[in-house]
Structure 1
Amino acid sequence: MESFYDWGSINLNNKEKLIQDNYSKVNQISARCMRVIVAILALAFVYCYFGTDMDESVLIVFFASAIFIALIPTLIINILKFDHAPVTKHIVIICVCLIATLMLTLLSTYAYPIMLFPILLASLYYNQTLVLFASLLMSCGIVGSNYFAFRFSDVFIGFPCESFEEVMMSYVVPQIVVVFGLSVAAYFIVQRNSMMINSAINMAVTMQDNQTGLIFSFAEISESKSKFTGEHIKRVAAYMRVLAKASGFDDEYVEMVSTASMMHDIGKLMISEEILDKPDKLTDEEYQIMKNHVLYGEALLEKCPGELMHLACILAKEHHERWDGTGYLGMKGEEIAYISRLMAVCDVFDALTSDRYYKKGWSLEDTFDEIIRLSGKSFDPKVVKLFIQHFDEFKEIHNRIPDKQKY
């Protein structure tokens, strides 16, 4: 049987996405670390301002500059949302090196601990090149800070040295040696941890791909059993992608919900074809058998591992539940999982607009009015509001993926 799911067209790029997500999380941690530095700088400023006789204007300029630089990662990562951008990690390292340089210039030996911070921060990214970048940048900062501190010793905390060459040998070289030594240690630690991270990512990708492949296979089995299920599955998955995205979920979760929705009718594999494709109205006994497909679906999926299969199990069980509690299992309101409330709208919209043996499909306008009428009864009003806002996308999907066979 020819697959109606094109693996190439899905192009989820799971490994790349997991790597990007990992970088995003580390960027978030780095931004928090920089905010901690802001607090430390503020305390250091208060101490220097009231506890030393250093020039007040110099203190204000240097500490204000350092605090401003420390807030740049928060602006880029948390406000502008560039947490996935490849260049973000370099900006973070540049910022912390600039802060270290400013503090070394102003406070000399009192600020020595901060010159190690860029190396520690770079090691969070499990990127050996970034560690070397931080080491080189900090070494340049050490040379520059010591030069300015010596050149303007009347403004900054000076050195008991007669020449800059003496400063280089007594202060700069030892500092660079310490930075270099920590960089070497960080380099090999990052190398080892990077291998472990890549191994974990590969395992996660393999598991997710296996789950997705299993869902596609079951969806194809559903198509082979019923003459209309396949197109229904594809349309519902597309509708779910629209509503999940409109709900504010991130792209990864949107794709998971959309993929999991393909399994919502998996329990119908346990229902005979005589009932599934019966051209006449079902008897009460047959209807009760048909209703059991939600429990069959739950039984088939509840012990399958992985988040994707867990979502599929929820949708298989709850997609016929109604907001007012009159659904198959009597679940009501917030008792129904949010993704199942999305699924209810998508499933009913497709069922009403599709031709079947026993009925002619409704017009898109009549279906739109019916779903609005059932808001607060069959459907969560919040979901209906999203449906109204994105009705044009539903129409586009309905027209783009028609049933192959008309009745």
Structure 2
Amino acid sequence: MNDNRLLKDNYIKINHIAAKCMRFFVALIVALWAFAFFSRECNLVVVTICMVLCCIFSLIPTLVIDFFKHDRNEAIKYVVICIAVFNCMILSSVFSHMALVVWIFPILLTSLYYNKTLVVFTALMSTVGVILADFINLTYCDFMVAPIYLDYTDSMVLSVFPCVITILILSLVAYFIVSRNSTMLNSVIDNAEEVKSNQKELIFAFAELSESKSKYTGEHIKRVADYMRVLGKASGFDDDYVDKLSTAAMMHDIGKLMISEEILDKPGKLTDEEFAIMKSHVLYGDALLEHCPGEIMQIARTIAKEHHERWDGTGYLGMKGEEIAYISRLMAVCDVFDALTSERYYKRGWSVEETYNEIVSLSGKHFDPQVVELFKQNFDAFKEIAERQPDKQVY
């Protein structure tokens, strides 16, 4: 995961919060309508129409962000602010000085985003909105709550000007808050990236250690991680989860640390007793990772335990079909593909075409048919990875 993706994920969350804030704004609109209803100080029909329009506009962010899922678009934040300013302008037009406090809302809303440009945009929009609202209120005062000052000049100097100054001061405060929060966010992201990078290096070191016991090179775990990335994307997982899945895949054989080298390196066929010990590496992997914190480690634990399971139930632990975690079914294809195409001191490596045919022939037996279909669709990517990262040395 890189900084841009973390910022984008944060932006998406903020968009959903902004949509929720706009729903709360509807409650304020209803409260103001109730005030107008009981005070009878304005034309209730006009007020009701205006309030209904405000409610409709306030729910647009919910419709766009939560319902249609357009929460990644960079323009969304400007749409949300424009709607907030427009609603405040209508409320200020209808209720005059009684609704001036609503102009705080767009500024509060813009402070959610870590964007200084948006603060400036909101301040300018709000300033224009206050001036227009005052003009509308004075022009159509017979339908609205009566303004305090009936002269345009008096209203501009004694009502609009103080409101604009207040908006600009609050915007300046919001600007510095956003600037500070943006700096802090970038610092947090940098620290998170450093921790994640260190965690990846540690995982790779342990994974390489487990492979070295069976005299593989580190290219095996790199290839398997890349294969998992391909199938993870093809499965529709988001980039963050694909990244975690790829990293966790490197730990699939961590349990081999507990298996003796005599069994791991035996050139001939294993006895039934030796094979039983070999199979236990999946349980060792499960036990080693059981209490490790973090999502990556728990993904790795699942994969380490189940990557030798077969769709028809003839795997190491006898799990079958949907009992096997989907990510483990992905891992099964990746691991077998790399095992067959890799040359070892006790066997020749198969060609990628031979391996392809073997995996396809075992669809519904060893492998989940759905995963095999994804493998077939992405075979060229598998082939490219295999050719790009050959083993450097075979002992």
Task: Report what 2:243 is aligned to.
Answer: 255
| 142, 157, 161: which one aligns with 2:130 | 142
Instruction: Note the 1:301-340 alignment, pairs <5 A.
Output: 301-340=289-328
Instruction: Note the 1:245-394 alignment, pairs <5 A.
Output: 245-394=233-382
Matches of 1:37 and 1:333 in 2, distance apart?
50
Matches of 1:45 and 1:350 in 2, distance apart?
68
Task: Report what 2:89 is aligned to.
Answer: 101
* Conserved? CA contact 1:245–1:251, under 8 Å: yes
Matches of 2:25 and 2:281 in 1, distance apart?
57
Task: Report what 2:56 is aligned to.
Answer: 67
Give the TM-score normalised by structure 2.
0.82
Task: Report what 1:34 is aligned to.
Answer: 22
* Conserved? CA contact 2:29–2:51, under 8 Å: no
Shift of 1:278: 2.8
Matches of 1:131 and 1:231 in 2, distance apart?
50
**1:268-326, CA deviations, whole angstroms, 9 ceiling, x for partnerless residues?**
23333333233322222222222122222233332332222222222222211223332
SS of the residue 1:358 aligns to? coil
Matches of 2:363 and 2:35 in 1, distance apart?
62
Query: Alpha carbons of 1:392 and 1:34: their partners in 2 closer, same or farther (altered >3 Å)?
Result: farther
Shift of 1:191: 6.7
Shift of 1:61: 8.2
* Conserved? CA contact 1:325–1:332, under 8 Å: yes
Task: Report what 2:80 is aligned to.
Answer: 92
- Equivalent position amino acid for 1:230 in 2: G
Instruction: Note the 1:70-219 alignment, pairs <5 A.
Output: 71=60, 74-75=63-64, 79=68, 81=70, 83=72, 85=74, 87-109=75-97, 111-125=99-113, 130-131=118-119, 133-153=121-141, 157-159=145-147, 161-176=149-164, 179=167, 183=171, 200-219=188-207
SS of the residue 2:331 aligns to? helix
Query: Alpha carbons of 1:401 and 1:197: their partners in 2 closer, same or farther (altered >3 Å)?
Result: closer
Matches of 2:203 and 2:159 in 1, distance apart?
64
Worse overlay, 179-188 or 305-314: 179-188
- Equivalent position amino acid for 1:83 in 2: R
Q: How many residues align?
A: 393
Matches of 1:37 and 1:374 in 2, distance apart?
58
Query: Alpha carbons of 1:225 and 1:61: their partners in 2 closer, same or farther (altered >3 Å)?
Result: same
Shift of 1:254: 0.4
Matches of 1:369 and 1:48 in 2, distance apart?
76
Matches of 1:391 and 1:32 in 2, distance apart?
44
SS of the residue 2:218 aligns to? helix
Matches of 1:395 and 1:317 in 2, distance apart?
27
Matches of 2:377 and 2:36 in 1, distance apart?
57
Query: Alpha carbons of 1:251 and 1:36: their partners in 2 closer, same or farther (altered >3 Å)?
Result: same
Instruction: Structure 2: state its 5+ residue gaps.
Output: none
- Equivalent position amino acid for 2:384 in 1: E
Matches of 2:189 and 2:394 in 1, distance apart?
45
Task: Report what 2:389 is aligned to.
Answer: 401
SS of the residue 2:391 aligns to? coil
Worse overlay, 348-357 or 72-81: 72-81
Shift of 1:176: 3.5
Shift of 1:328: 1.7
Instruction: Structure 1: state its 5+ residue gaps.
Output: 1-11
What is the Cα-based RMSD across aligned positions, in Å?
A: 3.7
Shift of 1:361: 3.2
SS of the residue 1:280 aligns to? coil
Shift of 1:172: 1.8
- Equivalent position amino acid for 1:236 in 2: V
SS of the residue 2:311 aligns to? coil
Give the TM-score normalised by structure 1.
0.80
Matches of 1:76 and 1:261 in 2, distance apart?
34
Identity %: 55
Shift of 1:131: 4.3
Shift of 1:188: 6.8
